[in-house]
Structures are given as C-alpha cells and as structure tokens.
Amino acid sequence: MAAVGVIGSGTWGTALAILLEGNGHQVDLWSAIPEEAKMLRETRRHPNLDQAVIPDGIRVTDNLKEAMESKDLLVMAVPSVYVRQTAAKMRPFLKPGQIVTNVAKGIEEASLLPLSQVIEEELPDAQVTVLSGPSHAEEVSRGLPTTCVSGSSRRQPAEYVQSLFMNEFFRVYTSPDVLGIELGGALKNVIALAAGIADGLGCGDNTKAALITRGIAEITRLGVEMGGRAETFSGLTGIGDLIVTCASMHSRNRRAGILIGKGCTMEEAMREVKMVVEGVFSAKAALALSKQYNVSMPIVEQVNAVLFDGVSPKDALRELMLRDRRMENSGLMWSKS
C-alpha cells in the first residue's frame, strides 16, 4: 500500500483518487476551494461524475500540507492554467526526491513549456513523471476498461507509477518519451475543437476522419521537430487520445467546438460547458510553436482564426479545403513519372 496525495479535485483528480483507493492505497484528495472540499466530504459525490461515489476511505481536504505530508506519490490533477501557481504553493511541503505525476494536458502559453517542465521549474527537487492517454474521467470512475502511459526520463519512477495505478480495468504502459506524451495530450485538444466545430456545422463522418488523420499528421510533424519520437504519436497518447477526444461527447473540447460551430462565441461555449476547455488555452501555444519550429499546422491555424480573429467556422473550413494541392506524404517517392 502507498500513500498518495491527489492535488486537484476536478473530475480527473477525483476519478483517479477513486481508482487508487480501490487499488488499496491510502488517498488524500485536495481541493483549492474550502467550500468544494466540504461538499465532497459531506456528499461523497462529484457533481460532474454522477455515477461515481467517493469512498469513505478517501480523505478530502483543502489543507495542502496535509494532502502532501508523508506521501509516496503526489498526483498533479489541476487544470493546465493552474499548474505553475499550484506547484509554487507545493514547494514548501515537498520532500527531496518526491515523485510528482502530472496528469493535466496542456502547454503553458507564456513560456511554451510542456507542463512537466513547468513543474520542474517550480519543484526542482521533485522526480516529475506524466500519466496520459485516452481516458475520460467519467469512464474511469465507473471502472470501464482504459489504457494509459506512464512517462518518465528514468525507468524506475515510470514503473513505480505504473504499479500503483494498474489494475484489471486500468492498464498502464511505460515510456521514456515524456515530451512526445505531453505534446500529444496537449495538441489533441486543439484538433478536438476543430472536430467539434465541424460537427456543429453539420459535417459528417468523412470530415471527422479527415480531421483526425490530418490532425495527427500536424501533431507528429511538430512533435518530432521538437524532439519527440514518431512512435509515441502513433500510440495511446497520440492517435489514441486524439480519436477519443474528437469522437466522444465526454470531451469538453469537442462539446465547446460544437457550440462554436453552431454560432456561439468562444466565451459563450466555455460558459456552457462549465469546465476548463484546455484546447482554448493550448491553441495559441500550438500556433506559436509551429512558427518557432517552422512546421506547417493548417488546422491549428484555422482553429486560432476562429477562436481569436473573428473568422467564421464556415470560412475556416473552406480555407482548409482549398489549400494548395500536395502529396499526402512527402516521404513517399514515385517509381514512375
């Protein structure tokens, strides 16, 4: 049995706390909001996980020191926009060599850093790992079969996290490609916004397949240029995560995109979804990285145009369809002219 502190009581943090407690671990679940912590303690329910019950064995607290004290593992489960400030608050209570597993997905807009590197800047004494993959909290909290990847630059921390989370319905693989894992997890949210916008416009399955396929091509181009491994983007944290986020109504990014495609503004869509829409925050960072690394990312460009430049979804789709003619894969060569 391990002692685990889950830092963040959103749907994903709560689902993982339930999973870890079910695996026999001692779990503390931390909320930054005292009123929310009190509600979770008293009701043992999360309002956005209607089929899940928080076991009595999980201690819910708004005391960060209490949540971190004497823990074998800390799970960072706050939204990407709060990762830096939460990590900074954690610094006084961190023990040297503490394993901190980030499960949020995003890129910090100001620094263009993946979240593990943000955490490393704020918590230099921590061993930072990541856990990512196609994993909606709503399904994990119900015990539906799910697969994820535990990533770390060192084998031992990755395998330790794997051992704590893995069970008969939650299978965990390991990987040394932390950068590739994080880029796949962050950038798929931007593509999922595009997929949702297409749904809102009334497009069909052909469009969805095209966005998923060309979306993973964009993600892979940038990821490999930045130092990620191509194999990672063809795996669970690349194409796997992209498929589920573009196709599922559990996806807040897809839901927000549908609303935008139907005529809502970005702000109206985010209010309607009532949860953090990570793709909105990652879109600008993705576009900035594409320019920094001189990588073509037309879907990312058009998502930014719709979100921030007032371009209509119909015009953005038309722009994508009427781009210059080209080969699907420039690495393939003709044997005959």
Predicted local distance difference test score (pLDDT) of residue 279:
86
Residues 6+ apart with CB under 8 A from 74: 4, 5, 7, 68, 90, 94, 98, 99, 100, 101, 126
pLDDT, position 278? 84
pLDDT of residue 280: 87
- Residues 231, 21: Cα–Cα separation, whole Å: 33
In the chain, where are the structural domains located? 3-176, 179-321
Give residue 336's pLDDT: 86
3-state secondary structure of 45: coil
**pLDDT tens digits, residue range 228-263?**
999 999 999 999 999 999 998 888 899 999 999 999
Regions of the chain with pLDDT less than 50: none
CATH 3.30.1950.10, applies to 3-176: no
Tell me, yes or no, if 65 is annotated catalytic. no
Return the residue matching tokens 């793709």. 279
Residue whose tokens read 């038309």 = 318
Residue range 179-321, CATH number = 1.10.1040.10
Going by C-beta distance under 8 Å and a sequence separation of 6 or more, which residues neighbour residue 248? 136, 254
The pLDDT of residue 162: 98
Catalytic residue, chosen from 65, 89, 95, 188, is 188
Query: What local confidence, expressed as pLDDT, does residue 205 receive?
Result: 94
Same fold yes or no, 3-176 and 179-321: no
CA distance 173 to 169: 13
Distance CA 104, CA 10 (A): 11
DSSP structural state of residue 312? -
Q: What pTM does this model have? A: 0.94
181-212 core/surface letters (b: 16 or more CB in 10 A; e: else): bbbbbbbbbbbbbbbbbbbbbebeeebbebbb
The pLDDT of residue 182: 97
pLDDT in the model for residue 63: 98
Determine the pLDDT at residue 276: 76
Token look-up 């979240």 returns 115
